[in-house]
Amino acid sequence: MGLFRKLGILAIVLVLYASLANAELFDITVEPVKDRITIDEFAKFKIAIKNNIKDADEYRIYTPDFPIWDVRTDPIVNPITIASQPGKEGSVELVVEPLKIKDIGTYAVTVNIRSEKTNQLKSVQLKVSVLSVQGLIGGYVPTVVTSVGIPEKIDPREEIPIKIVLNNQNIIDYPTLTVKIESNFMQETINTSLGPKEEKTVMAAKSIDPLTNAQESEVAVSLLMDDMSIITPIVREVQIIEYTDKEMVSQKKSLLTTKTVYDFISNNPDYKGTFRAETTLLETIFSSEDPNARVVKENGKSYFEWDGDLENNKMRVTVTKNFIPLFAVIILLVLLIAAYYTLRAPLVIMKGTSSLVKSEGGVTEMSVTLHVQNRGRTKIKDIEVTEVIPSIVNIEREVSIGSLQPTKVLRHEKKGTTIVKWEIDNLDVSEERVLSYRIKSKLSILGSFSFPAATAVFKANDKTFTTSSNRLNISG
């Protein structure tokens, strides 16, 4: 009896262990969202999984019926998983697509669900009713894998490059395919063909209105055969960027003036920024603008700058460069210089001093030198140089070696001044003579003292002229 009793207890334990092993570790609920479709449509089901264990778990979902059926999410996530906390429920919506179904009927699509924590596997059947096979071509479901390449940021001034890759997954021949590219800023239709199992790249370059407003938009690409869509439209998000541009409308040039008309353009009709036109510092002085502009400098360059005030996406400005005043000033300067050289005295006298002797803080002796030069273009004749020496000083009779002797030395008894005269027969062009004398002061000259200018009378081109030297200032 003891043996039978032990065997009975063992049997009970095994039954309890088996019951625990087969306990439901997670529950699955299937809710049809759309289970009745035509051959070119997709069925949808909501799968909910409840976690019955004490730990968080993740469940992987897949189908063994591929490639007859495709089970995926929208947007596509690979692998398909659901995470769930203990006692909680998670869910996901599955898209079921018939790939190789040719007949009307109700089909059971197997979906496997495996627990990552316990490795337990469960399967459910998703029942899909195919009501029509009108979308089949030659008994096959059209399957053209399509990819679209288009810039995310679009400058409306430039062509938009669009690349579409078509990959025919079965043996259907498409002698006529229509690719439609649609958005709120462009519409384009491209006709092409696609053979069985062929892959083809379709390129397009589309121009749009350059004043298309800056915006975020979408571009949808569809693939049709005989007005029947054979793919789900592919949508790409794009952005039309904002820009500002400068366009030269006209430019009229003459010898000293230039009139340039610019259009500043933006695809933002409410643009309130600034516009610039490069210039130079000289041009800013001799230019006028309509409307008025301010001058700004940046990175060593000068610009005219206007505040944006657009009308129909444009702002027109005129810049007139007028160098006539500058030319007039240059001509005037040339004429003045020419007049100076024409009318100036051809004889020049430069008066200087040297060998100063000082005593008791003042000047007592010095040498005075007169440099007489012909700076004209013709020979000068009959030159008479006159120097008046103040009464405060006396002239010495001795003359420096190499210097021309005075022809007359006269003393004015009333004024006490001394008059010294030299005579020079002639001076050739650029020829120079040096006249000098030495004077002594009766008293030391303190402070500043000025000697009057020397004068000269001469003849040039049979005319008599008079000229003077500079005054000589002496500081004691």
Supply the pLDDT for residue 443. 72
Report d(CA 135, CA 318) in Å as an integer: 64
- Residue 233: is the preceding peptide bond cis (ω within 30°)? no
Task: Give the integer Cα–Cα distance in Å for 201 and 206.
Answer: 16
Q: Which fold has domain 144-240?
A: Immunoglobulin-like (2.60.40)
Tell me the one-letter amino acid at 10: L
Q: What is the pLDDT of residue 396?
A: 78
In 3D space, the residue among 382, 464, 453 whose CA is nearest the CA of residue 423 turns out to be 382
Q: If phi over 0 gives left and psi between -120 and 50 gives alpha, with beta otherwise, what is residue 338?
A: alpha
Q: Name residue 328's amino acid.
A: A
Peptide linkage before 151 cis (omega within 30 of 0): no
Which residues of the chain have a pLDDT value below 50?
Answer: 1, 13, 15-22
Pair type for strands 448-451 and 472-475: antiparallel
Query: What is the reported pLDDT for 461?
Result: 85
Cα 353 to chain centroid, rounded: 66
CA angle 259, 262, 266 (to 5 degrees): 170
Q: Half-sphere exposure of 85 toward its Cβ, with a 13 Å CA cutoff?
A: 1
- On whether the CB atoms of residues 284 and 302 are closer than 8 A, the answer is yes
> Would you state the pLDDT for residue 220?
93
Asked if 37 and 130 count as a contact pair (C-beta separation under 8 A), the reply is yes
Residue 200: what pLDDT? Answer: 93
- Is the bond preceding residue 79 a cis peptide, omega within 30 degrees? yes
Give the model's pLDDT for residue 2: 57
Q: Quick check: 347 and 375 in contact, CB under 8 A?
A: yes
Please, where are the H alpha helices in 22-80?
none
* Residues 347-386: tens digit of each pLDDT: 999 998 887 787 776 777 888 899 999 998 889 999 999 9
pLDDT at res. 1: 47
**How many degrees, rounded to 5, is the angle at CA 217 between CA 211 and CA 222?**
110
Residue 320, pLDDT score: 95
Query: Which residue ranges make up each domain of the chain?
Result: 19-132, 144-240, 244-324, 347-475
Structural contact between residues 178 and 190, judged by C-beta atoms closer than 8 angstroms? yes
Burial label, 252 (beta-carbon count in 10 A; 0-12, 13-18, 19+): exposed
Provide the CATH number for the domain formed by 347-475 in this structure: 2.60.40.1530
Spatial strand order in the sheet of 144-149: 144-149, 160-168, 199-206
Q: What is the CATH topology of the domain spanning 19-132?
A: Immunoglobulin-like (2.60.40)
Burial tier of 380 (Cβ tally within 10 Å: 0-12, 13-18, 19+): buried
| CA pair distance 319, 292, nearest whole angstrom | 9
pLDDT for 428 equals: 92
Return the CA Rg of the chain.
55
**Whole-number Å distance between alpha carbons of 247 and 88:** 65
Cβ-in-10-Å burial (0-12, 13-18, 19+) of 462 comes to exposed
Q: Are 360 and 444 in contact (CB under 8 A)?
A: yes
Cα(325)–Cα(256) distance, rounded to whole angstroms? 9
144-240 and 347-475: identical CATH topology: yes
Closest residue by Cα to residue 187 from 147, 217, 225: 217
Can you spell out the DSSP letters for 373-436? EE-SSS-EEEEEEEEEE-TTEEE-S---TTSPPPSEEEE-TTT--EEEEEEEEEE-TT-EEEEE
- Dig out the tokens for 414 from the structure: 């009333």
